[in-house]
Amino acid sequence: SQQGEEDPQALSIQEGENATMNCSYKTSINNLQWYRQNSGRGLVHLILIRSNEREKHSGRLRVTLDTSKKSSSLLITASRAADTASYFCATDAGSGYSTLTFGKGTMLLVSP
Amino acid sequence: SQTIHQWPATLVQPVGSPLSLECTVEGTSNPNLYWYRQAAGRGLQLLFYSVGIGQISSEVPQNLSASRPQDRQFILSSKKLLLSDSGFYLCAWSPRTGWNQPQHFGDGTRLSIL
């Protein structure tokens, strides 16, 4: 079953704009992760935020986590055409085996 | 550095035929290994994971099976493919030790059943 649900399903912006994607989940988690998938390729890990963290940055990426609302957001600042991809959140419920439950993803299109 | 290889990249198989997809990891030892399936326009569904040689956990009942004959080799199999087995199959690994570990994915196999 899929625990994470991303919103919006699709997002279209211009280069230089910021892109914000949201993720909601249902059960308690150990951490939440964001991945990027270019068309027809495997997933690439972007950032991991632990359940006791509220915000994390990596380059142009900013992730927030609100465990009380069971939600997370991914902000990509100053988007580039190369950021065009699908973005997935995934939750680790702390099984000890790092198994993840993925959402359906947000498809981001950045136009030049 | 660690790398993960999956093959073949694409596969077209008739209904009822057998399947074998292979995944190998290099540059690390004792990884956790995972098989996922991704339907078109959807997220990933965890099919199997393994924490050691011969140790396989199945997440969903289905027409598929997995095996781990060597530490860094993970195989996805089927004796008789169904139309519903079509999809994009992804293998991933994560470090065995420690909590809060990311997963690292191969480039996937696109499987079409005719």
> How many other C-beta atoms are found inside a 10 Å radius of the C-beta of residue B39?
13
Three-state DSSP class for B7?
A: strand
pLDDT band at B33 (very low <50, low <70, confident <90, very high): very high
Q: pLDDT, tens digit, for every residue of A65-91? A: 999 999 999 999 999 999 999 999 999
* Of residues A88, A90, A97, nearest to B32 (C-beta): A97
Question: Which of B44, B59, B91 would best serve as a mutation to test chain A binding (most A beta carbons within 10 A)?
Answer: B44
Q: Which of A47-56, A68-77, A95-104, B48-57 has the lowest mean pLDDT?
A: A95-104
Whole-angstrom CA distances from A54 to A3, A5, A47, A64, B75 are: 20, 19, 13, 5, 38
Average pLDDT over residues A29-40: 95
Rounded-to-integer distance, Cα A98 and Cα B112, Å: 29
Query: Nearest-CA residue of chain B relative to A87?
Result: B43
What pLDDT, on a 0 to 100 scale, did the predictor assign at position B61? 67
User: Residue B110, Cα to own-chain centre: how many angstroms?
Assistant: 12
If contacts are CB pairs under 8 Å, which of residues 29-48 in chain B contact chain A?
A: 32, 34, 36, 41-46
A93: which chain B residues are within 8 Å (Cβ-Cβ)? Answer: none
CB-based contact B92:B4 (threshold 8 Å): yes
Q: Between B108 and A95, where is the model more confident?
A: B108
Alpha carbon of B38: minimum distance to chain A alpha carbons (Å): 10
Residue contact A42–B90, C-beta within 8 A: yes
Rounded-to-integer distance, Cα B40 and Cα B34, Å: 19
Rounded-to-integer distance, Cα A65 and Cα A52, Å: 9
Alpha carbon of A110: minimum distance to chain B alpha carbons (Å): 18
Rounded-to-integer distance, Cα A83 and Cα A44, Å: 12
pLDDT band at B41 (very low <50, low <70, confident <90, very high): confident
Nearest to B89 by CA among B38, B15, B23, B30: B38
* Of residues B43, B59, B103, nearest to A104 (C-beta): B43
Query: Nearest-CA residue of chain A relative to B96?
Result: A97
What pLDDT, on a 0 to 100 scale, did the predictor assign at position B15? 97
Alpha carbon of A69: minimum distance to chain B alpha carbons (Å): 21
Side chain identity at B15, as an amino acid letter? V
- The label of the residue with tokens 């199945």 reads B58
What pLDDT, on a 0 to 100 scale, did the predictor assign at position A3? 61
What pLDDT, on a 0 to 100 scale, did the predictor assign at position A1? 45
The per-residue pLDDT of chain A, averaged, comes to 93
